[in-house]
Chains A and B, each alone.
Chain A
Amino acid sequence: MPQPDFGFSGATLGLKALELLAEGDTVIHRLHPFVKLMTTIVYVVVVISFGRYEIAALMPFFFYPAILMPLSETPCAAISKRLLPALPFALFGGLSNIFFDRTPMVIMAGMAVSGGVVSFVSIMIKTTLSVSAILLLVSTTGIVSLSRQLAALGIPDAIILQFTLTYRYLSVLAEEAGTMYDCYMLRSSDSRGIRMKDMGTFVGVLLLRGIDRAGRVYAAMKCRGFACSLPTHDSARAFDICYLFIVCGTIILLRCFT
């Protein structure tokens, strides 16, 4: 039986879990968010920039998540679980390589391995690496610090406010949707989800309720002094700067010499 409401609560639970991870207190958590943002971007850019038949040279890059995960006490499962939804598109793009690129490239144990297989593996590795890096950034920084950092980098207030609010309202809306879905299912004769003809009204009601609810939440936020401008961060410490240079330096050196 399809359960869209599971999707909602599952998603919000996932968000909450990431947010709780972000409240940890480790060396990585204490790093300045700017430093974390920059190293993540440099890392992803470098990983992506490797040629498409590259596998061996990508291997050293596994050190980054392998070191960061234990240092930040992020459970491996938290990352790998979220990796899964990212893979299908890459899989789709990658699999086609196996079919369309059949030129033998490597002879391994007497079997010819085609260029397609090599590039497929390369794509999957790159996806795994870049997605883990992004997830590690979020799970050690948290939404509030991250949006403050974005604001400090000159992203307009309107976008930042939007970012924070959308994030906040997700759970508000999921709650409403879950209740409405339950009420609908309890009164519908077949249990195969919402019928197409009811979809417009269902979604419409959900929307209006969400808007009203959001209005009240926003009012409650304003009553407690929320003014969409976020206080800025403390400036970076020497340690942060060292981390930035060492990590980015290593990553770039690795790119140059492999």
Chain B
Amino acid sequence: MHMADALLSPPISAIMTAVSAGALGYSAIKMKKEGESALDESADRKIPVMGVMGAFVFAAQMINFTIPATGSSGHIGGGILLAAMLGPCGAFLTLAVVLTIQCLFFADGGLLALGGNIFNMGFFACFVAYPLIFKPIAKGGLDAKRAGAASVAAAVAGLELGAFSVVLETLASGITELPFATFVTLMLPIHLAIGIVEGIITAGVLCFVMQARPELLDFSGLGPAPDGEREGSMSFQKTLAVLLVLAALAGGGLSLYASAYPDGLEWSMEKTAGTAELERSGGAYEIAADIQKTTAFMPDYDFKSAEEGASLGASAAGIAGGAITLGLACAVGAVISASKKRGRKNAAA
């Protein structure tokens, strides 16, 4: 689900970065407050746990599992597991850090796309699926069945929202030509399968931790937790989640507006509308077309403008010029490298 830089337009990247930065700032402040109000020792204990949970999710994402009956494989996202152990804010921070490290050191997901990736993979799981789905189900005692139901439902919801958001962001950027319907029918089922497996694994881990070290868990589903206090914080979280979802939707609408290439979605719809295949999935198409109609500022489909084609050079000459430039770049690199080597040899002699 990691988006690359080349598929997102700068305006979309900027908006997503701003949204994620806001959520991160909020989480950091909240964590800090929590740390200050808690006793010195317990706050201190949370720091290594957060770090190791991040590393853990990182490592867990490297274990691929086979998705039953599909023949393909996937890996867990870890958002729900993190939230259940660290609370939404801690989980969001941790996931953001994991994604940053993946981006910087493993080239997994782009740097400009980082905001979008954090939002897609962190926000929905931590601030939507966990407080609104996992917690209500897990409330009032957590046995294996309940843990399973809560984890699967939350993991699926988080992943599907994230996957849908990937589709929206990519199409709003207008760099890929993938039609909306095709993209959605590709993304959603596969993430449904991944979500179910992730939910089962999450439940397994949570059940284990519950037996071995219940004090490590965040949620109130166990034993005599101070109920009134928890209830209060829960409703606060609900309000917050609703507000953030609204903000996100507003941001999404804005991003369609602000996109430098609003043609992607329109174009793919025009294209696909002509084919018989899409008429079957008319529902999704119509909804998308409605969103498009109300938000797009370029109503015409005149996307492939003359300038765009022309800038390529539209001829063999353009391509030759490009090849020469590329060759020149490599040559310069080789010359620098050679002169460096010679310099080192001289220094050694």
Interface string of B34-51 (1 = CB under 8 A from A): 010000000001011111
What A residues does B29 contact at CB under 8 A? 156
Contact A94 B176 (CB under 8 A): yes
Determine whether B281 belongs to the interface, using a CB cutoff of 8 Å to chain A.
no
Determine whether B32 belongs to the interface, using a CB cutoff of 8 Å to chain A.
yes
Interface string of B153-171 (1 = CB under 8 A from A): 0000000000000000010
Partner of B2, one of A71, A89, A199: A89
What B residues does A174 contact at CB under 8 A? 59
Task: Report if A204-B204 is in contact (Cβ < 8 Å); known contacts: A138-B104, A166-B101.
Answer: yes
Closest-CB distance, A39 to chain B (whole angstroms): 13
What A residues does B98 contact at CB under 8 A? 166
Partner of B5, one of A18, A48, A60, A194: A48
Closest-CB distance, B179 to chain A (whole angstroms): 6
Contact A82 B107 (CB under 8 A): yes
* Complexed CA–CA distance, A45 and B174 (Å): 16
Determine whether B330 belongs to the interface, using a CB cutoff of 8 Å to chain A.
yes
* Complexed CA–CA distance, A62 and B309 (Å): 22
Contact B332 A67 (CB under 8 A): yes
* Complexed CA–CA distance, A206 and B47 (Å): 18
Closest-CB distance, A7 to chain B (whole angstroms): 4
Interface string of A61-93 (1 = CB under 8 A from B): 011011101110100000000110110011001
* Complexed CA–CA distance, A93 and B264 (Å): 12
* Complexed CA–CA distance, A191 and B149 (Å): 31
Determine whether A245 belongs to the interface, using a CB cutoff of 8 Å to chain B.
no
Closest-CB distance, B89 to chain A (whole angstroms): 10
Contact B107 A7 (CB under 8 A): no
Closest-CB distance, B298 to chain A (whole angstroms): 15
What A residues does B203 contact at CB under 8 A? 200
Interface size on B, residues (CB 8 A): 99
Contact A156 B105 (CB under 8 A): no
* Complexed CA–CA distance, A52 and B175 (Å): 6
Determine whether A152 belongs to the interface, using a CB cutoff of 8 Å to chain B.
no
Closest-CB distance, B329 to chain A (whole angstroms): 4
Determine whether B65 belongs to the interface, using a CB cutoff of 8 Å to chain A.
yes
Determine whether A223 belongs to the interface, using a CB cutoff of 8 Å to chain B.
no
* Complexed CA–CA distance, A89 and B268 (Å): 19
Interface string of B316-347 (1 = CB under 8 A from A): 10110111011011101110110010000000
Determine whether A112 belongs to the interface, using a CB cutoff of 8 Å to chain B.
no
* Complexed CA–CA distance, A73 and B176 (Å): 35
Contact B329 A62 (CB under 8 A): yes
Determine whether B6 belongs to the interface, using a CB cutoff of 8 Å to chain A.
yes
Q: Give chain B's interface secondary structure class.
A: helix
Contact B107 A131 (CB under 8 A): yes
Contact A165 B261 (CB under 8 A): no
Task: Report if A4-B48 is in contact (Cβ < 8 Å); known contacts: A55-B322, A204-B208.
Answer: no
Contact A56 B318 (CB under 8 A): yes
Closest-CB distance, A97 to chain B (whole angstroms): 4
Report the stretch among A102-110, A182-190, A236-244 that lies at the interface.
A102-110
What B residues does A130 contact at CB under 8 A? 5-6, 110-112
What A residues does B18 contact at CB under 8 A? none
What A residues does B2 contact at CB under 8 A? 89
Partner of A203, one of B179, B201, B332: B201
Determine whether A40 belongs to the interface, using a CB cutoff of 8 Å to chain B.
yes
Which of A100, A126, A127: most chain B CB closer than 10 A?
Answer: A100
Closest-CB distance, A183 to chain B (whole angstroms): 16
Closest-CB distance, A104 to chain B (whole angstroms): 10
Contact B108 A86 (CB under 8 A): yes
Determine whether A177 belongs to the interface, using a CB cutoff of 8 Å to chain B.
yes
What B residues does A115 contact at CB under 8 A? 304, 309
Which of B51, B55, B112, B325: most chain A CB closer than 10 A?
Answer: B51
Closest-CB distance, B79 to chain A (whole angstroms): 15
* Complexed CA–CA distance, A187 and B2 (Å): 36
What B residues does A215 contact at CB under 8 A? 45, 48-49
What B residues does A107 contact at CB under 8 A? 315
What B residues does A166 contact at CB under 8 A? 51, 54-55, 58, 94, 97-98, 101
Task: Report if A100-B52 is in contact (Cβ < 8 Å); known contacts: A56-B321, A200-B201.
Answer: no
What B residues does A251 contact at CB under 8 A? none
Determine whether A31 belongs to the interface, using a CB cutoff of 8 Å to chain B.
no
Partner of B32, one of A156, A208, A218: A156
CB proximity to B under 8 Å, residues A29-62:
40-41, 44-45, 47-49, 51-60, 62
Which of B60, B177, B209: most chain A CB closer than 10 A?
Answer: B177
Contact A45 B104 (CB under 8 A): no
* Complexed CA–CA distance, A252 and B21 (Å): 26
Contact A218 B47 (CB under 8 A): yes
Please provide the 10 A-B residue pairs with the shortest distance between their CB atoms, ordered closest to farther: A200-B204, A165-B51, A204-B208, A166-B54, A70-B337, A66-B333, A59-B325, A214-B52, A126-B6, A169-B55
Given A49-B9, A215-B48, 19 additional A-B pairs, CB 8 A: A2-B64, A45-B112, A56-B318, A93-B4, A106-B315, A116-B177, A165-B50, A166-B101, A167-B101, A170-B59, A173-B52, A201-B204, A203-B204, A204-B207, A204-B209, A207-B53, A207-B205, A217-B48, A218-B51
30 A-B interface contacts by CB (under 8 A):
A48-B5, A48-B10, A52-B261, A53-B309, A53-B312, A56-B321, A59-B326, A63-B332, A66-B329, A85-B108, A86-B4, A96-B182, A97-B176, A116-B177, A118-B312, A123-B176, A124-B6, A126-B5, A134-B103, A161-B51, A163-B100, A166-B54, A169-B55, A173-B56, A174-B59, A177-B59, A196-B65, A201-B204, A206-B59, A207-B53
